[in-house]
Structure 1
Amino acid sequence: MLSATPESAAERVYREVKRQILTNEIAGGELISEGEVASRWTVSRTPVREAFLRLEAEGWMRLYPKRGALVVPIGDREARDVVEARALLEGHAVRSVVGDDAVRSALACRLAENLAAHRAADPADIAEFSRLDAEFHQLIVTAGDNPLLADFFVGLGERHRRMTTASVHRDIAVATRILSDHGELLDAVEAGDAAAFETALGAHLAGVHDIRPGDRS
């Protein structure tokens, strides 16, 4: 039950519905109604409508009057664009830190801690597994010490997280690949080898998200 002011109720509905979209609990292509959501969390339709409008503005939903809200599926073009942008941002970040032993070492330690927690997580808990996956890559971009790029990556990271949950839902074996690939990426950071990192990252992103080279559909 979401019992609070209309403003805080709208914020809570927004956060919960968005979480369900990012973790694939509400799948792309699914149509949900204001009434369903209002009934589920025992709120009026007004905060639900406000939340839906916000989600539509962010590109997660498409609203159809009197029919409901369609959760926008992940398109092939969107997936490729997200992967391409992530490769550019993460590669840039690693190139910017490999020449500074202290920064590179600190990043490697943070990535190792994340990887240990990730390996201990239950892959069946896809929400937590995908959160740790997104955190691993966010740590890399943040280490690049460019706040504008790091902030941009936060929004990009939400799309990345949704793609990861979809991939793990599709094939649980993807979780094992993610952990193995992250170990390889960590090794490249520790070695200060930006070229090896970029090669491993490209293979990681393409493999996890089933992106075929040259596919611009």
Structure 2
Amino acid sequence: MPSARDRAYAWIASAILSGDVAEGQFLDEVTLAREVGTSRTPVREALHRLQAEKYVDLVPRRGAQVRVMSSRELREIYQARFVVESDAIAKICRRRKGPPPGMAQLLDDMEEAGRQEQWRSFAQMDQMLHLNLVRHQGNSVLAEMYESLGPRHTRLSVRTLVEATERLELIEQEHRELLAALQDHDADRAIEVLRRHLREIPEIIEAFTG
């Protein structure tokens, strides 16, 4: 059974990802404890973890506030992802390692989640797909650095799918193109697909502030 802290973490993270609590909203520990069915201590511990993962900000004398993500942060995350992932792709193709194990099955599962509009599941699998790509090159330090972006990656993916659901088909197509390029050990093609995949989408940028 998950601990009370883990239950609190999962409940709050889910509420943020689903939009049940809005960006900028303050979270009341007493209310959260009642919703999760725990004391306030596990909730407080969960909030500290969520702060580390950039879900919330802890504001002195006011408590936890759902973090507001800006368009600048969105751009910077995409830029960081491109730098790390393109480097991984170049090394994977040069060594002719092919795609990460299980990538094709993961894409099948993602597409099924997309058909059912299970955006959180899709986003979590999307984050895992790209993390597996970075891990596949064999640099554990880069993989750990990339994994630290995971919560923000997932949150941005959910927001993208909610704001521009029509992009789902294109996202899935680009994933398939990336898989094919990796199978062919074609770094140039794979990196170009990644560049298109992480390009700025005006309607998404506009959905974020600042």
Scaled by the length of structure 1, the TM-score of the pair is 0.82
Match of 2:93 in 1: 98
Check if 1:118 corresponds to 2:113. no
Identify the residue that residue 127 of structure 1 maps to in structure 2: 120
Which residue in the other structure is 1:190 paired with? 183
Residue 167 of structure 1 contacts residue 208 of structure 1 at CA under 8 Å; is this kept in 2? Answer: no
Match of 1:32 among 27, 30, 34: 27
Task: Give, in whole Å, the separation in 2 of the partners of 1:141 and 1:211.
Answer: 25
| Matches for 1:28-177 after TM superposition, within 5 Å | 28-64=23-59, 67-101=62-96, 103-104=97-98, 107=99, 110-121=102-113, 122-177=115-170
Shift of the 141–108 alpha-carbon distance from structure 1 to 2, 3 Å rule, reads: closer
Counterpart-to-counterpart distance in 2, 1:175 and 1:125: 12
Residue 168 of structure 1: how far off its partner (Å): 0.8
1:206 is matched with: 199
Structure 2 unaligned runs (5+)? Answer: none
> Following the alignment from structure 1 to structure 2, what is the Cα–Cα distance between the partners of residues 10 and 149?
29
Cα-Cα RMSD: 2.5
Residues 24, 133 of structure 1: CA spacing in aligned structure 2 closer, same or farther, 3 A cutoff?
farther
Q: Is the 8 A contact 1:94 1:140 kept in 2?
A: yes
Q: Secondary structure at the match of 2:24?
A: coil
| Number of matched pairs | 205
Amino acid at match of 1:45: R
CA distance in 1, matches of 2:59, 2:83: 36
TM-score (norm 2): 0.85
